[in-house]
Amino acid sequence: MCDLGHAGQREGFGFLVDTPEIRALIAETERLRTTIQDDEARLEALRPAFARLLAAEHWLPERCAMPDDTSRMGGGIGQYALYRAEDGSLCLFSLVVPVGAATPVHDHLAWGLVGIYRGRQDETVYRRLDNGADERRADLEVAKRQELGRGEFYALLPPIDDIHYVRTISDTPSISIHLLANDTACVWRHKFDPASGVVTPFRSGYANAPCPPS
């Protein structure tokens, strides 16, 4: 199931999907968090474990691989928590982007890894040209674009490459897996309108787990 709690855990936290593949990745992440202090070096060391998860079959329940008609991100985009640390320091989730749909331009505010489990995505990454002093506006330019398929992944290391949007370019929904060092869907992040420069705070929310009150 994609929404089951476990005894001794707060509702909506811990292993919401409990499989050996997920447990192995979370265990390796926690081990490296205690042994490697530098974020970039830690991400590099995590690559083999993350690649193994993306390559494995049949661990993601179909309930966590479906579009979400109530999505706060729009377009039927589904965001499903797979693991959430109770202290908000780590999460693993699946992001389902229907055919032809695209996420808003957004940030993440945490280091992590993002990879494709099914389908194909086109990613556009933005670079911020202003100094961020005005929280309501941002001057952005496109830094790079890339297409990604099954098993391909990239690192997030704010402020580098942290602002992007993705759209599905396959004829089936794309599913990406995100390992991030915060409780991504429940922290206040930012949506960006590159054309107008307007920045809007938002919480995307999980389809299968509640966020704490604001």
- Taking 50 as the threshold, does the pLDDT of residue 17 lie above it? yes
Maximum alpha-carbon separation in the chain: 48
Report pLDDT digits (tens) over 79-100: 999 999 999 999 999 999 999 9
Query: Domain limits at 182?
Result: 14-202
Predicted local confidence at residue 213, as pLDDT: 84
- CATH code of 127's domain: 2.60.120.10
- Taking 60 as the threshold, does the pLDDT of residue 7 lie above it? no
Residue 178 resides in a domain: yes
Strand partners, 118: 175
What secondary structure letter does DSSP report for 140? E
Burial 47-59 (b: 16+ CB within 10 A, else e): eebbeebbebeee
- Residue 101 pLDDT grade (very low, low, confident, very high; cuts 50, 70, 90): very high
Number of domains in the chain: 1
- Residue 12 pLDDT grade (very low, low, confident, very high; cuts 50, 70, 90): confident
Report pLDDT digits (tens) over 131-172: 989 999 999 999 999 999 999 999 999 998 999 999 999 999
Residue 2 resides in a domain: no
pTM of the predicted model, to two decimals?
0.93
Residue 1 resides in a domain: no
Cβ neighbours of 171 (radius 10 Å): 9
Cβ neighbours of 193 (radius 10 Å): 14
Mean pLDDT on 128-132: 92
Residue 210 resides in a domain: no
CA distance 74 to 58: 27
Q: Which one has a higher pLDDT value, 50 or 9?
A: 50
CA distance 141 to 79: 27
Which tokens hold the place of 102? Answer: 């695209």
Predicted local confidence at residue 9, as pLDDT: 58
Residue 116 resides in a domain: yes
- Residue 10 pLDDT grade (very low, low, confident, very high; cuts 50, 70, 90): confident
Residue 132 resides in a domain: yes
Residue 5 resides in a domain: no
